[in-house]
Amino acid sequence: MIKPHMVIGVDLGGTHLRAALVNEDGRLLARERTASGSALAPEEALRRLTAQCRTLITAARADGARVAAIGLGAAGSIDRRAGRIVHSPNLPRLNGFLLAPALERELGLPVFLENDANVYGLGETWQGAGVGIRNWVGLTLGTGVGGCLIFEHQLWRGDDLGFAGEIGHLPVLPGGSVCACGAVGCLETLASGSALARGVTAARDRGQILGPALEQAADQGRITPLAVFQAARAGDSLACELFATLGWALGVALAGLFSVLGIRTAIIGGGVSGAWELFEPSLRRALRDQARMFDPQLARVKRAALGDDAALLGAARLALDALANRR
């Protein structure tokens, strides 16, 4: 009797390493979670990941199944052929680390590595808001803005240069702020969690009087995206304006991408997308104002469906697809 195949999907996050055992139907059967943090060293990351995977391999065995491969999603730029993390903004000590081969040696299983926003796209297209949608643009709004492109139900990798779908670095406001990438006016400078926090700091620096909630957060040195979200929910005008700008920037970027790509669907996830009602109106307004190639009524801008599970399921899907391509 052939044992059923399972895979492990791993999300290498800046605060936690999460892993899940996933079957071929996309069911999440067991989960592991352990702390990470910006000081995490490569050897320790490898040790923790190996332990998580071993626990899940044992769980699979108890189910009469075997784990066939492991998929990893990580923020930053990835050399997926080598399995190397080239630049890791959240786990900086992993920069340059050949993670996939190291984990392969520990576990004796094939390991595949991909950018986290691309993994999100694979997850949502397999089990989430992208099911059955042939072509879509994916965005993840977190500290930065991640992006992916799903074309013909597949993850688009372009010329395989080590990045694709970097929608956060589409210029939307020439002459605007300098982005973390070094360019000017990228979508990420207006539509990320960092942009929200920076917007408050900038307003304070130019002498604007903050509302009481933001003033208190500023005094405590805690102007977080969550603080801006809570202030906006309580009606703070600066916070509301920052979310309106975030929505405007998304709308401009999506109008451009829809016109260029001739497609009509976007799926938005990531932590900041939890503030949906705060930025959706201005997003739709900008889309309507900028989208002249097509009836803006046709545009479908949807919320992601899987939350954090998109990363786990997408990493699992990455492993399944890679196995299928090897055969």
Minimum distance of a second copy from residue 124's CB (angstroms): 17
Distance of closest approach, residue 241 Cβ to a second copy, in angstroms: 16
Query: φ, ψ for residue 278 (rounded to 5)?
Result: -85, -25
Choose between 147 and 314: whose C-beta lies nearer to a second copy: 147
- Reference 255, options 303, 190, 189, 301; nearest CA is 301
As beta bridge partners, residue 186 has 171
Q: 71 or 138, CB closer to a second copy?
A: 138
Helices 237-261, 193-205: inter-axial angle, 10-degree rounding: 130
Bridge-partner residues for 300, per DSSP? 265
Give the integer Cα–Cα distance in Å for 279 and 286: 11
| For the chain, the helix, strand and coil percentages under 3-state DSSP, each to the nearest 5 | 45, 20, 30
In the complex, least distance from residue 250 CB atom to a second copy, rounded to whole angstroms: 12
Copy the structure tokens of residue 81: 């052929």
Q: Is 139 exposed, middle or buried (0-12, 13-18, 19+ CB in 10 A)?
A: buried
Closest to a second copy by CB, 158 vs 281, is 158
DSSP-based three-state secondary structure for 239: helix
Amino acid present at 30: A
Nearest-approach distance from CB 246 to a second copy, in angstroms: 14
CA distances from 326 to 112, 121, 158 (A): 12, 21, 20
Whichever of 113 and 257 has its CB closer to a second copy, that residue is: 257
Token pair belonging to 206: 């130019």
Nearer to a second copy, 40 or 137 (CB): 137
**Which residues sit at the interface with a second copy, rule CB under 8 A?**
77, 134-135, 147, 149, 151, 156-167, 169-174, 179, 181-184, 252, 255-257, 259-265, 289-294, 298
Provide the minimum distance between the beta carbon of 231 and a second copy in the complex, in angstroms, as a whole number: 26
Q: How far is the CB of 287 from a second copy (least distance, A)?
A: 11
- Give the tokens for residue 5: 């195949």
Nearer to a second copy, 99 or 254 (CB): 254
- Calculate Rg over the CA atoms of the chain: 20
Q: For residue 112, give both structure tokens.
A: 């595949």
Q: How far apart are CA 210 and CA 199, in angstroms?
A: 11
To a second copy, the closest distance from the beta carbon of 303 in angstroms equals 20
**CB of 64: closest distance to a second copy in angstroms?**
41
